[in-house]
Chain A
Amino acid sequence: VSPRKLKWPNNNLTFRIENFTPDMKKADVERAIRQAFNVWASVTPLTFKRLHSGIADIMISFAARDHGDFNSFDGPNGLLAHAYAPGKGIGGDTHFDEDENWTKESNDYNLFLVATHEFGHALGLEHSREAGSLMFPTYSYSPGFPLSEDDIDGIQELYGPNPNRKVKPKPDAPKKCDPMLSFDAITELRGETILFKDRFYWRIHPQMPEPELTLIRSTWPALPKEVDAAYENSDKDMVVIFSGIKMWALSGYDMVEGYPKYIHKLGLPKKVREIDAAVHIPETGKTLLFTDEQYWSYDERTSTMDVGFPRAIELDFPGIGKEVDAAVYDSGTLYFFHDYMRFEYSYRSRKVISIVRANSILNC
């Protein structure tokens, strides 16, 4: 919220849509705007009534470049929209850049998401520092209910909670230096390391000083919101991602066509419903797939499952425990992640060399 906690003095607000974008059907614009107001109404006592003429508290318009408020837009991309804090006159008014391509889908800029963010400003919220919250200043697409705990705390600080309804906020973004941090999956990707956690992934790039946290869906809208396991086959220049009984493939950051496929196509029995961790060992051409307390070996060269598997994790990798969450391989060393621990395991001498916190990989 702003230092002076700017807010509307009453809870019954009005809005008017002054014009429409040609990018979408009129009904779709109306639906996006109404749904955006409903998001804020679901967590506060606020109500929003649409006016078709006259001056409303929140006047909504689409405009390009200079549009009469000394805050001009800049053409496609860059600035998408802006809104004014609660107040008389221009206060609460919300402007969308007509030079953007507005959609109701995940491509380009989703009007519902941008409108919900802007109405946050129109109701008195400022930008959030929390990546993954709706009020974070940069755009990212994510389906479902858009508010995080941080957004809800902010708006309820101004208007209080909704006495009737309860909604489930999005979980907060994971904190990289949380000592109890665990990972869902880890893979290399053309020299980068990608660490999946809940709806997010960290990207570690050799030339980036700090890991970068991003929503999975904002980079790969076709992937499920959370993933179980991932590995890179550098010979095929492919990253395989597992979630439940399906798997997807990436070539670089692009999705490979022909996926998702069922994991049983690899030769796993139907009783396997989820892969916990996966790792490819380039020297042997084998990919190890970990499920519960067992693991399987898949031969990438023949595309068949090796005989004699599954085998117990505990027996073949002594010292790392019974289960693993994620695994990566680098120059003869396997790194196993389980809960908040990382086990450095020498593949050649078959023993654990060191144990550190899982998030040491994030410079914590």
Chain B
Amino acid sequence: VPIPGAETDKRLQAEKYLSRFYNLPAGLLGARKSSDVLQTKLKEMQAFFNLKVTGKLDAETFDTMKLPRCGVPDVGEYN
């Protein structure tokens, strides 16, 4: 079933956020692997911000992604 436009936008924005701040690997991944990695990274982000850890892109997680913030990643070394 095609994903509605707004949902695609949200997912793309979330992927951009996670690749910038949580080292979500860039580039093409297999469909199943892609969703596993995204879920893991979402969980990592939710745990960092003390949100409910679901691995899903819920409204609260997406709202946190939209907050103004520092450009330095939350995990790993910035070098």
Contact = CB atoms under 8 A, between A and B. Distances in A.
B79 A79 contact: no
A3 interface: yes
Given A6-B77, A84-B79, A127-B74, A210 B68 contact: no
B72 A137 contact: yes
B15 to A, nearest CB: 15
A140 to B, nearest CB: 9
Interface string B34-67: 0000000000000011111010001110001001
A126 interface: yes
A155 B50 CA distance: 23
Contacts of B78: 82, 84-85, 121, 126
Interface in A65-92: 71, 73, 77-85, 87, 91
A266 B51 CA distance: 41
B50 A85 contact: no
B10 to A, nearest CB: 15
Nearest to A72: B71
Contacts, number: 77
A138 B77 contact: no
A71 B48 contact: no
Given A6-B77, A85-B77, A210-B60, A78 B68 contact: yes
A85 B68 contact: no
B33 interface: no
A173 to B, nearest CB: 10
Nearest to B71: A82
Interface centre among B50, B64, B67, by most chain A C-beta atoms within 10 angstroms, is B50
Contact of B68 (A109, A126, A131, A209): A109
Contacts of A87: 79
Nearest to B16: A74
A228 interface: no
A4 B76 CA distance: 10
A209 B52 CA distance: 7
Contact of A73 (B59, B67, B71): B71
Given A2-B77, A87-B79, A139 B68 contact: yes
B69 interface: yes
A313 to B, nearest CB: 36
A83 B72 contact: yes
Contact of A129 (B48, B52, B60, B69): B48
Given A84-B79, A87-B79, A210 B70 contact: no
Given A85-B79, A138-B64, A80 B52 contact: no
Interface string B19-42: 001000000000000000000000
Contact of B71 (A80, A85, A131): A80
Contact of A80 (B54, B60, B69, B79): B69
Contacts of A81: 70-71
Contacts of B59: 207
Nearest to B21: A137
Given A2-B77, A129-B50, A210-B51, A79 B60 contact: no
A7 interface: no
Contacts of B52: 209-210
A280 interface: no
Contacts of A129: 48-50
Nearest to B77: A2
A117 interface: yes
28 contacts: A2-B77, A73-B71, A77-B68, A78-B68, A79-B70, A80-B69, A80-B71, A82-B70, A83-B72, A85-B77, A117-B70, A121-B70, A126-B74, A127-B48, A127-B73, A129-B48, A129-B49, A137-B70, A137-B72, A137-B74, A138-B64, A138-B67, A138-B69, A139-B69, A209-B60, A210-B51, A210-B52, A213-B50
> Which 5 A-B pairs have CB atoms at the shortest separation, nearest pair first?
A82-B71, A209-B52, A79-B71, A138-B67, A138-B69
